[in-house]
């Protein structure tokens, strides 16, 4: 890992107004964001800075460990829901009047749809507020700690979502404008037109900010690991597609040279991955910066201030030793977990990003397929940023693919399924209107009815996809589903959505029933009935300890302990059983100074896990050579369970 002099622009550029740190979960985004904010606050004491988190599972408080920031730096874990509540309170009457002008719906119908269409837009409203702070120069600079990749990309693409929502509202006003012109000869713009135009201008301003490379920059943070590299490449491609500026990439936790066998394995694997990074065209015009693996966890003001001290600019270097020439570091566990019972219908692997959920889900699915011969098992991912293909080291698509005797795998394309649903709805609307009134142009009414699907709660696509997986269960197809879940904050939100989606479906069904002489859409009605049944079945299975087990996956750090605590609390609220906890990627005791230091700090966190969750079985999984590929995953699966 050769280094070159210099510093990245995000640590020195005084004109940058918005810095966004993002990437795969667990790579150190929060640490990098907090360390940057402290560095800039110290470098420019005359400037007013804001460090803000938009991750549903906030970690800034854990990163700062209760220490107070300098006077010129404000720290905020954004309460996105509060911004949405404020928006609804200020604009409820406007929204209802817009809807009443353009539809046959009554006040009760409109009120239900307005309530149900807004959940999920909370983060957008919060981001619009951040955009306003930039525009009004409330702060000299804002540093954002974003959610894991899949969730962040949805946020970055939010302008398109809100544009559809605004188009739906504008469609409701279009008929009113037309009728006014027709019968009064003219139309005078009023408060409602100004409201939609103002909101559209705010969204446009947000989009303009994100695309302004002189004011805004996105800094991907990654590890020199295959899964992290793959996800970062996807992230960079998406950001470029959205015209969001990316110049610097941070490669975190790089191991130093060492005689320790484990450290040598990790370092040489990192060197090979770095060589691959420099060979990828997507990174060719980017500057890569390396941060070392520190012996102590980076928490608190003093540690964060020193985070960038070891920063080096990376340049192509030799790949290091041949890993095949090194003795392997075999998988090892403490307190293997009991094998899930043969009658289980669903296993869920959940936790903070980057803790190894995908690896353990794959190893478990392979082991269960071997242990329970005759069973049909489906391993699938519901994470917007899929990792199954990289972990299994083979292509995986949206249809089940056999990977071993008794085991199939798939990565769910939630967005494609929901687009298909909306297209089906639009086709039926068009066919219905053509059938009942072939010679009458109902342009406005058709558009208003078509837009009902655009007023669905964001997140419905992923939840629908998860619910649709119930159709894969026996007696039709598979005996067991193994889910590689999205990172903690995203998963919790997803699991809390069924009630919102069920209410939305009830509202849609209520409209169809109430106006059955107008709405006659048998195909889409049948499809929505199916979704409702799938959701109820999903909720019932998730709450049944004889059929479902959620395995929480964590690593032995204070921040991961805090996030695991949040996950288990959410599972308690949702009545989802959590019989097991995997403490993954643990460092074994040894004479090497780095490993010895890591072992000491991890042992202290291990004691906290034991005290905090005494009723949950805890299995410690130690670092190993390379858990990717069928053979390595099968070897891991054999020792995970007793």
Q: What is the full DSSP assignment across 409-462?
A: EEE--HHHHHHHHHHHHHHHHHHHHHHH-TT---HHHHHHHHGGGGGSPTTHHH
The C-alpha atoms of residue 529 and residue 551 are separated, in whole angstroms, by 31
pLDDT band at 162 (very low <50, low <70, confident <90, very high): low
Cis peptide before 475 (omega within 30 of 0): yes
pTM of the predicted model as reported, rounded to 2 decimal places:
0.71
Q: What separation, in Å, do the N-terminal and C-terminal C-alpha atoms of the chain show?
A: 41
| Extended strands (E) in 231-359 | 248-254, 287-292, 312-315, 333-334, 346-351
Which architecture does CATH list for 2-79+218-325? 3-Layer(aba) Sandwich (3.40)
In this prediction, residues 205-212 reach a mean pLDDT of 85
Inter-helix orientation angle 149-156/158-184, to 10°? 30
| 217-248: pLDDT as tens digits | 999 999 998 878 888 898 899 889 888 899 99
SS3 393: coil
**Sign of the four-CA dihedral 505, 508, 511, 516:** negative
| 259-315: pLDDT as tens digits | 898 888 888 889 988 988 988 899 988 999 999 999 888 888 999 999 999 999 998
**Sign of the four-CA dihedral 629, 635, 637, 640:** negative
178, 187, 442 from 183: Cα distances, Å: 9, 10, 17
Specify the DSSP element, H or E, that contains 74. strand 73-77
| 170-186: pLDDT as tens digits | 766 666 666 566 556 66
Higher pLDDT, 444 or 80: 80
Average pLDDT, the chain: 80
pLDDT band at 499 (very low <50, low <70, confident <90, very high): low
Residue in 565, 555, 564 with CA at minimum distance from that of residue 621: 555
Homologous superfamily (CATH) of 333-414+534-640 is P-loop containing nucleotide triphosphate hydrolases (3.40.50.300)
| 397-433: pLDDT as tens digits | 889 999 999 999 998 877 777 777 777 777 776 676 6
The C-alpha atoms of residue 263 and residue 238 are separated, in whole angstroms, by 34
Higher pLDDT, 351 or 290: 290
Residue 443 has pLDDT above 60, yes or no: no
Segment of 351-360, 527-536, 613-622 carrying the highest mean pLDDT: 613-622
Percent of the chain with pLDDT over 70: 74
The C-alpha atoms of residue 51 and residue 641 are separated, in whole angstroms, by 43
pLDDT band at 477 (very low <50, low <70, confident <90, very high): confident
Pairing of strands 49-53, 73-77: parallel
What is the pLDDT at residue 58? 61
Entry field: residues in the chain: 642
pLDDT band at 442 (very low <50, low <70, confident <90, very high): very low
β-bridge mates for residue 141, sequence order: 49
Percent of the chain with pLDDT over 90: 30
Segment of 6-10, 24-28, 282-286, 475-479 carrying the highest mean pLDDT: 282-286
CATH 3.40.50.300 domain span(s) along the chain = 2-79+218-325, 333-414+534-640
């Amino acid at each position: 890992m050769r280094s070159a002099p210099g510093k990245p622009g995000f640590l020195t550029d005084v004109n940058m107004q918005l810095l966004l740190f993002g990437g795969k979960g667990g790579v150190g985004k929060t640490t990098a964001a907090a360390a940057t904010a402290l560095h800039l606050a110290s470098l420019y004491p005359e400037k007013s800075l804001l460090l803000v988190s938009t991750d549903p599972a906030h970690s800034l408080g854990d990163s700062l460990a209760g220490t107070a920031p300098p006077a010129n730096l404000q720290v905020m874990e954004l309460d996105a829901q509060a911004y949405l509540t404020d928006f609804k309170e200020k604009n409820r009457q406007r929204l209802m009047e817009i809807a009443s002008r353009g539809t046959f719906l009554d006040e009760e119908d409109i009120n239900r749809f307005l309530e149900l269409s807004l959940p999920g837009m909370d983060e957008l409203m919060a981001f619009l507020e951040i955009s306003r702070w930039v525009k009004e120069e409330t702060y000299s600079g804002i540093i954002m700690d974003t959610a894991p990749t899949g969730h962040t990309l949805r946020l970055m693409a939010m302008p398109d979502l809100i544009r559809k929502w605004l188009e739906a509202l504008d469609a409701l006003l279009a008929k009113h404008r037309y009728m006014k012109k027709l019968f009064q000869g003219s139309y005078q713009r009023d408060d409602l037109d100004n409201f939609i135009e103002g909101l559209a201008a705010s969204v446009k301003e947000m989009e303009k900010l994100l695309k302004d490379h002189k004011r805004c920059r996105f800094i991907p943070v990654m590890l020199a690991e295959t899964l992290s590299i793959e996800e970062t490449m996807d992230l960079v491609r998406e950001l470029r597609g959205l015209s969001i500026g990316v110049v610097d990439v941070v490669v975190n936790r790089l191991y130093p040279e060492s005689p320790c066998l484990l450290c040598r394995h990790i370092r040489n694997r990192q060197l090979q991955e770095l060589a691959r990074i420099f060979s990828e065209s997507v990174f060719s015009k980017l500057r890569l910066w390396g941060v070392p693996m520190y012996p102590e966890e980076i928490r608190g003001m003093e540690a964060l201030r020193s985070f960038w001290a070891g920063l080096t600019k990376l340049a192509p270097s030799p790949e290091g030793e041949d890993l095949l020439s090194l003795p392997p570091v075999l998988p090892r566990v403490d307190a293997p977990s009991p094998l899930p019972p043969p009658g289980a219908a669903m296993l869920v692997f959940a936790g903070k990003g980057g803790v190894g959920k995908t690896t353990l889900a794959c190893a478990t699915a392979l082991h269960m397929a071997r242990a329970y011969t005759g069973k049909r098992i489906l391993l699938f991912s519901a994470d917007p940023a899929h990792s199954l293909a990289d972990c299994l080291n083979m292509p995986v698509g949206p249809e089940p693919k056999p990977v071993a005797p008794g085991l199939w795998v798939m990565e769910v394309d939630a967005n494609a399924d929901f687009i298909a649903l909306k297209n089906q709805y639009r086709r039926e609307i068009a066919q219905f209107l053509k059938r009942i009134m072939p010679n009458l142009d109902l342009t406005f009414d058709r558009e208003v009815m078509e837009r009902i699907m655009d007023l669905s709660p964001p997140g419905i696509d992923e939840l629908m996809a998860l619910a649709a997986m119930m159709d894969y269960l026996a007696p039709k197809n598979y005996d067991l589903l193994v889910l590689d879940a999205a990172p903690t904050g995203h998963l919790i939100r997803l699991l809390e959505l069924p009630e919102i989606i069920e209410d939305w479906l009830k509202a849609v069904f209520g409209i169809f029933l109430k106006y059955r002489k107008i709405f006659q859409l048998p195909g889409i009605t049948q499809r929505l009935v199916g979704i409702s049944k799938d959701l109820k079945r999903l909720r019932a299975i998730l709450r049944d300890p004889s059929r479902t087990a959620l395995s929480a996956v964590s690593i032995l750090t204070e921040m991961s302990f805090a996030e695991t605590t949040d996950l288990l609390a959410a599972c308690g609220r949702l009545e989802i059983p959590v019989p097991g906890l995997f403490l993954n990627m643990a460092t074994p005791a040894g004479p090497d100074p780095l490993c010895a230091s890591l072992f000491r700090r991890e042992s202290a966190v291990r004691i906290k896990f034991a005290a905090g969750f005494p009723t949950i079985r805890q299995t410690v999984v130690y670092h190993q050579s390379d858990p990717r590929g069928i053979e390595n995953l099968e070897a891991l699966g054999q020792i995970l369970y007793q």
